[in-house]
Each structure stands twice: as C-alpha cells, then as structure tokens.
C-alpha cells in the first residue's frame, strides 16, 4: 500500500479517502458542466457549420470579433445598459438585503423571522416565464397599474412602448426575487458577530442605530467587500430571463433595456443580425468573461492596496 501511494500527497489522499469519495459526485458534475463546455471556446475563432461540426468548421481567426468594433453604436448601448444595470442591481440589492436583515435581526420573535424568511424566499423559485405573465398583468394597457391610474383621473401609460419606466421596473423585480437569499446571507453574517460587543455598547449607552454603524457594519465589512469583488466578475453579464423575457424583447424598449446577453439570446431566436452566427455569439461571451476576469483582478488589487485583510487573495 505504501508503494502504491508514495509521497505525502497520495498518503494524505488515501487517509482521507472517505471524504474524497464524498467529493466525487461534485467533481464529476463540475467537470461535466464546468469544464467540458469550455471546448466550445474554439467557436470564437471558427465559422460554425452544422454539417462539419465544431472541430471540422473552418477557422476564421479574429473575424468573429469584428462585430465588437464594427457596430460601435449597438455595442456601446449594450455595454452601457449591462454595466449600468449591474451597478444599479448590486447597489440597491445590497441596501435592501442589509435593511431587511437588520430588521429581522432585531426581531425577538424567532417564529416571525422564520416565517418572513420563507415568504421572502418564495419569489426566488418563480421562473421568469411566470414573472413575465405577472408583470404583464400589472403593466398591460388594461392591467392593474393603468386601471388605478385611470381610476384617479390619470392617462393610461404604454409601459411596453416607454423605456424610461423600465429601470425602476427591473429594479423592483430584481429585488423582489433576490431579497430572500440575500437577507438570509446577511442574517447569517450578523449571527456570527460577538454578542458581547453589543452588550458592552449597551452598557455604555449606545442606541440601536449607533450599535449598527459602529459594530454591525464594521463586522460585516470584510464579507461585503468579498461579495462585491466576486460580483465584479459578472459586470458584463446580465439575467437573460429578466432582460429578454419580462419586457417581451420589445424593440421599442431596446435602448433602455437590452443588454449583451439579451441581444445574444435574440440572435439565437433569430430576431437580429446574429441569427445562426454562433461564432460571433461565442466571441461576445468570451469578451464578457475576459472583461470580468480582468476587472476582478484590478478590483482585488485595489482592495489589497487599501485594506489587505479584505482582499480575496
């Protein structure tokens, strides 16, 4: 046995074989859905043809990347919307989740906290197909919102033709679906704070607001920073279900709502110039991942310069 597992690493691995076997299903799934699809990366440099397959299709070099600079107006609009929504969602999401977590953390009735967490989690399990129908029931010309507006003497609003309302609509939907998981995360972080600090602050006369700003937030600062650093990796991506389905991919709303992922999805559905052009779609995905990776390294480097203890690595 010693000859078979020579070396410190292999001996340790053999001693921990029970844990290794427990990890195997996760490793297999990660390889299947995380590593094997990376083979499709070569599509970024090929002109894909069904008859020849991925490996048999002809190479095109960097021709697929010309889209990123050829249609500058469209690409700038997509990048602007994608990054703007990322910032809007992350800022509002952090604020809303922190606020809800603080409120529930101060509640002394544990059963109410558990019920609240359950209720807030329900929207996260609702698919965007259902969300699209729910939103349409509210925003349709004869929907609930317009019915209330006309009831109070206002004029009907064509939400699916007016893009200026959708940043707010998207923000409400995003926080409605994501507050449950975010609230539980921040509540768990608050539960790990040493309660003796609150007791000492209470003896010193600090009220709840002062305890929040001088104990709770500083204690969570490192975790929130790490969450933001990892979130930067997705700065060039967006939720396809939210940005493609909910607004019914209306061309009238594209200037306000369309992101890179929504545009790529529209190409897969044959609704724009990317129809059937999987090479360009792959190049766009690679571009998104590259920008996210570079910005993650830059953001982590900045954090490491300012506060090394809060850096990701």
Contact in structure between 140 and 130 (CB atoms under 8 Å): no
pLDDT of amino acid 38: 77
Closest by alpha carbon to 77, among 233, 268, 251, 245? 251
pLDDT of amino acid 6: 57
pLDDT of amino acid 66: 81
CA distances (Å), origin 81, targets 30, 166, 192, 261: 31, 12, 37, 11
pLDDT of amino acid 1: 44
3-state DSSP assignment of residue 46: strand
Closest by alpha carbon to 236, among 123, 35, 68? 68
3-state DSSP assignment of residue 140: coil
> Any bridge partners for residue 59, and if so which?
46
pLDDT of amino acid 171: 95
In whole angstroms, what is the distance from residue 31 CA to residue 238 CA?
24
Map 218-255 to HEC letters: HHHHHHHHHHHHHHHHHCCCCCHHHHHHCCCCCHHHHH
Contacts of 262 (CB under 8 A, 6+ apart): 238, 240, 243, 244, 249
CATH topology of domain 65-310: MetI-like fold (1.10.3720)
* Exposure b/e, 215-235, CB count within 10 A at least 16 = b: bbeeebeeeebebebebbbbb
The one-character DSSP state at 216 is I
User: Angle of helix 128-139 relative to helix 144-151, nearest 10 degrees?
Assistant: 20
In whole angstroms, what is the distance from residue 108 CA to residue 110 CA?
6
Q: Counting runs of H as helices and runs of E as strands, what totals does the chain give?
A: 16, 0
Each domain of the chain, given as residue ranges in start order, spans 8-56, 65-310
User: For the whole model, what pTM was predicted?
Assistant: 0.84
10 Å CB burial of residue 8 (0-12, 13-18, 19+) is: exposed
Map 191-207 to HEC letters: HCCCHHHHHHHHHCCCC
Contact in structure between 139 and 228 (CB atoms under 8 Å): no
**Residue 180 is inside which H or E element, if any?**
helix 166-191
In whole angstroms, what is the distance from residue 235 CA to residue 295 CA?
9
Digits of tens for pLDDT over the chain (313 positions)? Answer: 445 445 788 888 888 889 989 999 989 998 888 788 777 778 888 887 877 888 888 888 888 888 777 778 888 899 999 999 999 999 999 999 999 999 888 888 888 888 988 899 999 999 999 999 999 999 998 999 999 999 998 899 999 999 899 999 999 999 999 999 999 889 888 888 888 898 898 888 888 889 888 888 888 888 899 889 989 988 998 988 899 999 988 888 989 999 988 988 888 777 776 766 778 888 888 888 889 999 999 999 999 998 888 888 8
In whole angstroms, what is the distance from residue 14 CA to residue 208 CA?
52
């Amino acid at each position: 046995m010693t000859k078979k597992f020579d070396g410190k690493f292999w001996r340790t691995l053999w001693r921990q074989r029970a844990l290794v076997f427990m990890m195997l299903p996760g490793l297999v799934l990660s390889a299947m859905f995380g590593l094997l699809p990376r083979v499709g990366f070569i599509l970024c440099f090929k002109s894909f043809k069904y008859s020849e397959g991925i490996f048999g299709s002809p190479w095109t070099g960097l021709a697929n990347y010309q889209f990123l600079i050829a249609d500058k107006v469209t690409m700038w609009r997509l990048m602007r919307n994608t990054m703007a929504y990322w910032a809007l969602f992350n800022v509002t999401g952090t604020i809303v989740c922190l606020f809800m977590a603080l409120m529930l953390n101060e509640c002394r009735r544990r059963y109410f906290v558990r019920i609240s967490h359950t209720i807030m989690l329900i929207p996260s399990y609702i698919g965007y197909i259902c969300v699209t129908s729910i939103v349409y029931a509210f925003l349709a010309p004869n929907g609930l919102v317009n019915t209330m507006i006309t009831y109070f003497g206002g004029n009907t609003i064509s939400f699916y033709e007016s893009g200026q309302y959708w940043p707010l609509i998207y923000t409400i939907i995003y926080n409605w679906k994501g507050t449950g998981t975010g609230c539980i995360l921040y509540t768990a972080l608050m539960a790990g704070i040493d309660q003796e600090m609150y007791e000492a602050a209470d003896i010193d006369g600090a009220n709840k607001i002062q305890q929040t700003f001088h104990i709770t937030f500083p204690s969570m600062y490192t975790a929130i920073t790490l969450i933001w650093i990892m979130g930067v990796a997705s700065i060039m991506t967006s939720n396809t279900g939210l940005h493609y389905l909910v607004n019914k991919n209306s061309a009238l709303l594209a200037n306000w709502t369309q992101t890179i992922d929504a545009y790529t999805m529209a190409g897969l559905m044959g609704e724009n110039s990317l129809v059937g052009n999987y090479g360009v779609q792959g190049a766009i995905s690679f571009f998104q991942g590259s920008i996210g990776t570079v910005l993650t390294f830059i953001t982590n480097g900045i954090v490491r310069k300012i506060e090394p203890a809060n850096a990701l690595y």
